[in-house]
């Protein structure tokens, strides 16, 4: 199914995007609202480890952490999912059995996406067979930047089909797309082609999730819902390491898409060190003392 | 041509190698005795302290893993830079009530103290490390390591020398420091930040705040990421608070009474040792 994509139907006003972001981010969230936001942000985390040196032990430890964020402080939510490389899916699946936490796997020759479509589809099928509940694919940025939008769109549709019941997150790798206009166009293509979530970055390229990029993608999600009635999820990833940033993004979603998106079903953070920073903030709010990483599990 | 107006310096904070204003936007009016000069000093807040702690934690691994010789060179360089800014410190110290002669002595001693600790920076480990006799087939030795991040309440009665006497041994030992400058005589502290800025001390290794010690002492001593706390002063309530808060995460507590920092006995390699951990290694032999 080749979609006829009209190029750049939405041009993004970069200055305006930056100013809007600055205004949203200046909002101050305190006390009970802050605690609520921190708990919510924890429940939205895709706790991620995507390193070449990942081992079975590392993945098991991360899975344990996913459901035992900080046992000293009862009542904390679990994170939404664990995000790992394909060969770690069976280990994660087994470790998370009975916790209700999803296993997400990157696929389609992550992070570059430089493989032929056949290999990509096989990889997707194999991670789904291994038990992945969510698949994070990367788009072919080379094809996109050379204007072959039909290819990008077809690829996403085929991967979506290969996913079956698993949720599909489409990584745009916005750091390589250069302009906000491209980010908007890629978001539109991904959503039209069947993405359940659109995701900013692999975390391997800098810049990763920048606020104007996230805002642009959220606006694309909003327009897509207006047009089709479908609710697409959003996942900023890469470079989100502090509780403060997380809360700023929550403000941005609320103001762009409304309260309905303030849920792990429709919004996720792809992060590894974010969880500990949020936990430190929660403990600071509770005890009144600034915390140290020394007293939290390694992430 | 109209008469020229002098440009006055804005006294800010020194955090992470930068000179930010206090995030709180609050100021303390500081005036000299004759009320002829009025300066706005930043009234540092707990958030300024928190930010400084983040910088200090970030800087400590790089600083402590430099060679001891390099730390010595940098401390010496701080001394050189202070020497070059003599006039500025003369002006500030006299404005704060010292006579010219006293001010000159204080500057000289501050420079000498920096050079003193520069000399010790690559020698104290040899003195304080040792081989321990054990009656087992082990080679057993003890060596020193930096404690980590040190929070300090500087002496209140000494604008420059007190500040330098606290900072120098702490960083000679590879620690980073967040220090609350003298509340009564704050002018030299931020100018000393300018000296540090130009002397190869990496940003974040030394962070200087100004403000009310009564406001920040609780946060200085209770922050869980602080590994050692230095308190200079004689206020019994403060001393007790520091001890109590330090127990939260078992910080080292180092207290100095109000004393004449000019005396030679207040410079010593044992001051470096106060912010050091000792690590003992049992190494099997003959296997």
Query: In this predicted model, what pLDDT tens digit does every residue of A43-102 receive, in sequence order?
Result: 999 999 999 999 999 999 999 999 999 998 999 999 999 999 999 999 999 999 999 999
What's the pLDDT at A2?
A: 47
Pick among B60, B224, B245, B251 to test the A interface (most A CBs inside 10 A): B224
Indicate yes or no: CB of B249 within 8 angstroms of CB of A292.
yes
Confidence of residue B140 (pLDDT cuts 50, 70, 90): very high
Residue A127 in tokens? 């991670």
* Average pLDDT estimate for A22-36: 93
Q: How far is B6 from chain A (nearest CA, A)?
A: 36
Contact residues, A window 230-289, toward B, CB-based 8 Å cutoff:
288-289
For chain A, domain boundaries? 32-295
What's the pLDDT at A298?
A: 81
What's the pLDDT at B20?
A: 97
A293: chain B residues, CB-CB within 8 Å: 225
- Using a CB–CB cutoff of 8 Å, tell me whether A28 touches chain B: no
For chain B, domain boundaries? 44-284
Whether the per-residue pLDDT at A246 is higher than 90: the answer is: yes
A289: chain B residues, CB-CB within 8 Å: 222-224, 248
* Average pLDDT estimate for B176-187: 97
Annotation: CATH topology of A32-295: TIM Barrel (3.20.20)
Average pLDDT of chain B? Answer: 96
Indicate yes or no: CB of A289 within 8 angstroms of CB of B53.
no
Cα A172–Cα A175–Cα A177 angle in degrees, nearest 5? 65
Cα B80–Cα B85–Cα B86 angle in degrees, nearest 5? 100
Catalytic residues of A: 136, 199, 235
Whether the per-residue pLDDT at A123 is higher than 70: the answer is: yes
Nearest CA in chain A to B54: A292
Size of interface A-B (CB pairs under 8 A): 24
Indicate yes or no: CB of B224 within 8 angstroms of CB of A291.
yes
- Using a CB–CB cutoff of 8 Å, tell me whether A291 touches chain B: yes
A294: chain B residues, CB-CB within 8 Å: 224-225, 249
Q: In this structure, are strands B252-256 and A233-235 parallel, antiparallel, or unpaired?
A: unpaired
Average pLDDT of chain A? Answer: 94
User: Starting at the edge strand that comes first in sequence, how are the strands of the sheet with A134-138 ordered?
Assistant: A233-235, A197-199, A167-171, A134-138, A102-106, A81-84, A45-48, A269-271
Confidence of residue A1 (pLDDT cuts 50, 70, 90): very low
Indicate yes or no: CB of A289 within 8 angstroms of CB of B222.
yes
CA B110 from centre of chain: 13
A291: chain B residues, CB-CB within 8 Å: 224-225
- Using a CB–CB cutoff of 8 Å, tell me whether A294 touches chain B: yes
Give tens-digit pLDDT for A133-165: 999 999 999 999 999 999 999 999 999 999 999
A295: chain B residues, CB-CB within 8 Å: 224, 249
Nearest CA in chain B to A289: B223
Indicate yes or no: CB of A292 within 8 angstroms of CB of B248.
no
Share of chain A above pLDDT 70, in %: 98
Contact A247, A267 (CB under 8 A): no
What's the pLDDT at A227?
A: 94
* Average pLDDT estimate for B53-80: 98
* Average pLDDT estimate for B11-20: 97
What's the pLDDT at A6?
A: 57
Counting Cα atoms < 13 Å in the Cβ hemisphere of B230 gives 30
* Average pLDDT estimate for B45-70: 97
Whether the per-residue pLDDT at A166 is higher than 50: the answer is: yes
Contact A198, A191 (CB under 8 A): yes
What's the pLDDT at B232?
A: 97
- Using a CB–CB cutoff of 8 Å, tell me whether B219 touches chain A: yes
The answer to whether the Cα torsion of B101, B103, B107, B109 is positive or negative is positive
Residue B179, φ and ψ in degrees, nearest 5: -125, 135
- What dihedral do alpha carbons B166, B168, B169, B175 form, nearest 10°? 100
Whether the per-residue pLDDT at B49 is higher than 70: the answer is: yes
ipTM over 0.90: no
What's the pLDDT at A5?
A: 55
Annotation: CATH topology of B44-284: Aldehyde Dehydrogenase; Chain A, domain 1 (3.40.605)
B222: chain A residues, CB-CB within 8 Å: 288-290
- Using a CB–CB cutoff of 8 Å, tell me whether B85 touches chain A: no
What's the pLDDT at B39?
A: 93
Closest residue to A295, CB basis, from B53, B223, B224: B224
What's the pLDDT at B249?
A: 94
Going by C-alpha positions, the residue among B197, B206, B194 that lies closest to residue B168 is B206
- Using a CB–CB cutoff of 8 Å, tell me whether B50 touches chain A: yes
Give tens-digit pLDDT for B240-282: 999 999 999 999 999 999 999 999 889 999 999 999 999 999 9
Residue B202 in tokens? 């990496």
Indicate yes or no: CB of B223 within 8 angstroms of CB of A290.
yes
Give tens-digit pLDDT for A249-281: 999 999 999 999 999 999 999 998 999 999 999
CA-to-CA distance for B259 and B200, rounded, in angstroms?
Answer: 31
* Average pLDDT estimate for A206-230: 95
Pick among A72, A243, A287, A289 to test the B interface (most B CBs inside 10 A): A289
Confidence of residue A7 (pLDDT cuts 50, 70, 90): low
What's the pLDDT at B276?
A: 97
């Amino acid at each position: 199914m080749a979609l006829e994509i009209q190029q750049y139907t939405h041009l993004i006003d970069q200055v305006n995007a930056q100013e809007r972001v600055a205004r949203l981010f200046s909002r101050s969230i305190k006390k009970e609202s802050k605690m609520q936001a921190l708990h919510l942000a924890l429940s939205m985390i895709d706790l991620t480890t995507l390193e070449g040196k990942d081992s079975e032990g590392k993945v098991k430890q991360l899975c344990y952490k996913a459901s035992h964020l900080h046992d000293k402080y009862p009542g904390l939510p679990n994170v939404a999912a664990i995000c790992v490389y394909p060969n770690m899916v069976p280990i994660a699946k087994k470790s998370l059995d009975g916790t209700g936490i999803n296993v997400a796997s990157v696929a389609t020759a992550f992070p570059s996406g430089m493989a032929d479509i056949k290999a990509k589809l096989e990889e997707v099928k194999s991670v789904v067979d291994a038990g992945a509940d969510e698949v994070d694919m990367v788009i072919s940025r080379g094809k996109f930047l050379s204007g072959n939008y039909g290819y990008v769109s077809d690829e996403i549709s085929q991967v979506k089909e290969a996913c079956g019941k698993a949720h599909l997150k489409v990584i745009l790798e916005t750091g390589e797309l250069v302009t906000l206009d491209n980010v908007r166009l890629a978001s539109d293509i991904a959503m039209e082609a069947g993405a359940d979530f659109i995701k900013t970055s692999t975390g391997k390229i800098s810049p990763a999730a920048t606020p104007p990029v996230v805002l642009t993608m959220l606006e694309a999600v909003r327009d897509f819902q207006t047009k089709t009635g479908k609710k697409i999820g959003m996942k900023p990833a890469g470079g989100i390491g502090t509780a403060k940033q997380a809360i700023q993004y929550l403000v941005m979603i609320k103001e762009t898409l409304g309260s309905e998106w303030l849920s792990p079903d429709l919004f996720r953070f792809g992060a590894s060190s974010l969880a500990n920073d949020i936990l430190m903030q929660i403990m600071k709010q509770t005890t009144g003392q600034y915390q140290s990483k020394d007293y939290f599990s390694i992430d | 041509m109209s008469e020229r107006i002098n440009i006055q310096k804005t006294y800010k904070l020194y955090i992470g190698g930068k000179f930010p204003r206090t995030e709180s936007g609050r100021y303390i009016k500081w005036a000299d005795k004759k009320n002829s000069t009025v300066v706005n000093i930043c009234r540092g807040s707990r958030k300024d302290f928190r930010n400084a702690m983040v910088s200090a934690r970030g800087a400590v691994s790089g600083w402590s893993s430099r060679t001891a010789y390099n730390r010595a060179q940098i401390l010496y360089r701080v001394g050189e830079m202070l020497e070059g800014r003599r006039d500025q410190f003369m002006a500030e110290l006299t404005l704060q009530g010292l006579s010219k002669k006293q001010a000159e002595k204080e500057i000289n001693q501050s420079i000498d103290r920096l050079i003193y600790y520069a000399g010790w920076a690559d020698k104290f480990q040899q003195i304080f490390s040792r081989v321990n006799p054990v009656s087992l087939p082990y080679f057993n030795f003890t060596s020193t390591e930096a404690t980590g991040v040190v929070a300090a309440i500087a002496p209140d009665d000494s604008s420059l020398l007190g500040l330098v006497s606290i900072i120098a041994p702490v960083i000679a030992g590879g620690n980073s420091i967040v220090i609350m400058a003298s509340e009564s005589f704050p002018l030299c502290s931020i100018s000393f930040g300018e000296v540090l800025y130009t002397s190869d001390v990496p940003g974040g290794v030394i962070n200087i705040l100004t403000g009310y010690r009564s406001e920040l002492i609780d946060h200085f001593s209770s922050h869980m990421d602080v590994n050692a706390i230095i308190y200079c002063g004689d206020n019994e309530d403060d001393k007790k608070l520091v001890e109590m808060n330090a127990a939260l995460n078992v910080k080292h507590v180092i207290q100095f009474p109000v004393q004449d920092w000019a005396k030679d006995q207040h410079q010593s390699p044992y001051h470096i040792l106060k912010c050091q951990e000792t690590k003992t290694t049992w190494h099997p032999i003959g296997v």
